[in-house]
Structure 1
Amino acid sequence: MIPALIAGAIASVAALALFSRVAARRIERQAPADGHFITVDGVRLHYTDRGHGPAIVMIHGLGGQMRNFSYALADRLVADHRIILVDRPGSGYSAAAPSAAILAQARLIAGLIDALGLDRPLVVGHSLGGAIALALALDHPDKVGGLALISPLTQPQDSVPPAFRAIDIGSPALRRAVAWTIATPLGILSGDRGAVAVFAPEPAPADFGTKGGGALVLRPGAFLAASTDLAATRTDMAALAARYHELSVPVAILYGREDAILDPGLHGATIAADVPRVDLTLIPGGHMIPVTAPGQVASWIRGRVGAPA
């Protein structure tokens, strides 16, 4: 009896893993890699590099990838700027890195800036990408001309937004087990509820899963990376926030007033009050204003390019 139960459990796990792999390949056909690959410090990164003019590097948030920016925002800037979008390690089509620590991810972005020969570009960071952009400016100030942070994570916080509770898994071993068995089928069964939660109170575009790359996080490796990134914020953010007084580049922050993922008061007003170099702007909208308000966001970014240090 017990051997039969064990065999059945093994067969179930194998079936879930096979389903996850097949589903991941289908998702990748719907939202394929559309950039180039470069190896930085041994990590293979996926990026796009379009346009000419002052350079802007864009770093996406938790569970996202570069299509979050290419959905509607990047095309509004590419006519007169060089726009570099990058999938963070483990996200989109970039390989996972040995460490998901915020400072380690910032170091890889610094390496990408060097590899592409960029001269102190404006760095745009959305959500978790904002924290990584701040770490980049603190540890590698010579690589950054300024920061334009959209709905950024800037402070430590104990609670996890409801939209991300499914990836809040403390044990690395359990993260891997969940990622390679039940994460993909459960994500598919939940439909668009994840996107609805991230976009709230604004509606999620019907094509965000493909054009915006939202479905790519359903793949086992991307789920694992997102869960690991979330764990890193718990260990890294307090030390990062304690260093904001060291910032030597101009920092501008744009928040949607109705953001349901990160509180504009905690993550926008706090750093703006504590650090004189930080300028905060609020507009109507939720957490995904790069998608829902691309015109306003593009105009705001243009105002940051070449801003005096």
Structure 2
Amino acid sequence: MKLDIKGKPAYAYTGGKAFDAMLPTVVFIHGAQNDHSVWGLQSRWFAHHGYGVVAVDLPGHGRSSGPALASVEEMADWLLALLDALGVRKPLLVGHSMGSLIALEAAHRAPGKVRALAMLGTTYPMKVSDALLATARDDEDTAIDMVNIWSHSSIAHKPSSPAPGFSVMGGARRLMQRMSALNPARLFYTDFSACNAYANGEAAAAAVRCPTLFIFGKKDMMTPARSTRLLTGAIAHGKVVQVDAGHSLMSEQPDAVLDALDAFALSLEEQRT
């Protein structure tokens, strides 16, 4: 689905179904150097089980025109503008890594417009080391390789990769390389800098009143469990689910992630009725 947001072309994947704003809506927000495709299984499943699905390509990523936005706050404002353009009311926001901060900030800026939050592979502060920032700025290919290795718990993944010749790590690497090819303006550095600079997470988390789900990878080296205590403490009513994966948990353990999201969404519908 193509839209015009703030005068620039934007794209959102709808899971293979025409989007219907009258359905309960799930909005998927990707992380740094990614696009909507990281939500392949989860977005399609929800679209075919009674939900409206909006899996965004953030500005400068995938099919949405750039430039990439330089702050989490700008990305949250863009997301809220996109939801307004679609007539979406009270969605479940599902964000991974950088996308989780965008979801959190959007909920803080417009609490009356958000039904619930699901934050995957999240932490706050989401600091990026000076060495990795410098590599992302000066040698994006090397930064991609570094993050791809750190984001996965193994070089071989089953059952999420049952077919011969299919590679979770290889697919993730090619996606990030494709983002670089589509937008050569130091996209990874822009994304990482936005995560590193975001300073409103504690206040935003303290203000969260809506139902919240945290999904963490037990083997996550990018946002390890010990770093998540500020968020989970600030949102004490949030439910925590752990899956046997690294930071790229949607591809390493797609079924476990889907099960957690499905159960959470179902609980929201039960509360609604």
> Is TM-score (shorter-chain normalized) higher than 0.5?
yes
Q: Residue 98 of structure 1: CA displacement? A: 7.4
* Cα contact 1:261–1:287 (8 A) shared by 2: yes
Aligned residue number for residue 217 of structure 1: 179
| 1:205 equivalenced with 2:144 (yes/no) | no
Residue 46 (structure 1) aligned with residue 15 (structure 2):
no
Question: With structure 1 as the length reference, what TM-score do the two structures score?
Answer: 0.72
- How far the C-alpha of 1:235 sits from its partner, in A, is 2.1
Alignment partner, residue 157 of structure 1: 127
* Residues 81-100 of structure 1 mapped to structure 2, 5 A cutoff: 81-97=51-67, 99-100=69-70
Task: Give, in whole Å, the separation in 2 of the partners of 1:197 and 1:266.
Answer: 16
CA apart distance, 1:97: 4.5
Structure number with higher relative contact order (C-alpha < 8 Å, ≥ 6 residues apart): 1
Q: How does 1:106-255 map to 2 (within 5 A)?
A: 106-157=76-127, 159=129, 166-167=135-136, 169=137, 183=140, 187=141, 195-201=148-154, 203=156, 204-205=167-168, 208=171, 213-219=175-181, 221=183, 224-236=186-198, 238-255=199-216
Which AA in structure 2 matches 1:229? D
Secondary structure of 2:168's counterpart equals: coil
Contact map agreement 1:201 1:258 (CA 8 A) in 2? no
1:61 match: secondary structure: coil
- Report the residue type matching 1:149 in the other structure: M
Larger CA Rg, structure 1 vs 2: 1
Question: Could you tell me whether the CA contact under 8 Å between 1:63 and 1:223 is conserved in 2?
Answer: no
Corresponding residue SS for 1:208? helix
What SS does structure 1 have at the residue aligned with 2:186?
helix
Once the two structures are TM-superposed, the CA of residue 123 in structure 1 deviates from its matched residue by 0.7
Q: 1:166 to 1:148 in 2, by over 3 A?
A: same
The answer on whether the counterparts of 1:68 and 1:290 sit within 8 Å (CA) in structure 2 is yes
CA 1:279/1:223 → structure 2, altered by over 3 Å: closer, same or farther?
A: farther
What is the CA deviation profile of residues 96-145 of structure 1, one whole-angstrom value per residue up to 9, with x for unaligned ones?
24742111101111111111121211110001100000001000112211
Paired residues of 1:69 and 1:85 also in contact (CA < 8 A): yes
How far apart are the structure 1 equivalents of 2:102 and 2:144? 30
Cα 1:255/1:89, change in 2 over 3 Å: same
> Which position in structure 1 is the counterpart of 2:243?
283
Counterpart CA distance in 2 for 1:111 and 1:132 is 13
- What CA distance in whole angstroms lies between the structure 2 residues aligned with 1:273 and 1:102? 21
Alignment of 1:272 with 2:232, yes or no, is: yes
Q: 1:101 aligns to what?
A: 71
Question: In 1, are the aligned partners of 2:212 and 2:237 still within 8 Å (CA)?
Answer: yes
| 1:25 alignment partner in structure 2 | none
Please give the residue correspondences for 1:20-35 in structure 2 after superposition, counting only pairs within 5 Å. none
Counterpart check, 1:76 vs 2:36:
no
Aligned residues: 253
Greater displacement, 249-258 / 87-96: 87-96
Aligned to 2:44, the other structure's residue is in SS state helix
Relative to structure 1, the CA distance from residue 190 to residue 277 in structure 2 (aligned partners, 3 Å threshold; closer, same or farther) is closer
| 2:111 alignment partner AA | P
TM-score of the superposition, structure 2-length normalised? 0.81
State the distance in 2 between where 1:285 and 1:206 align.
Answer: 12
Q: Distance in 1 between matches of 2:203 and 2:54?
A: 29
Distance 1:140 1:161, change over 3 A: farther
Contact 1:271 1:278 in 2 (8 A): no
Report the alpha carbon displacement of residue 271 of structure 1 after superposing the two structures with TM.
1.4
Distance in 2 separating the partners of 1:202 and 1:75:
26
Specify every segment of 5 or more residues in structure 2 that has no aligned partner in the other structure, as ranges. Answer: 157-166
Could you say if the C-alpha distance between residues 134 and 78 of structure 1 is closer, same or farther in structure 2, counting changes exceeding 3 Å? same
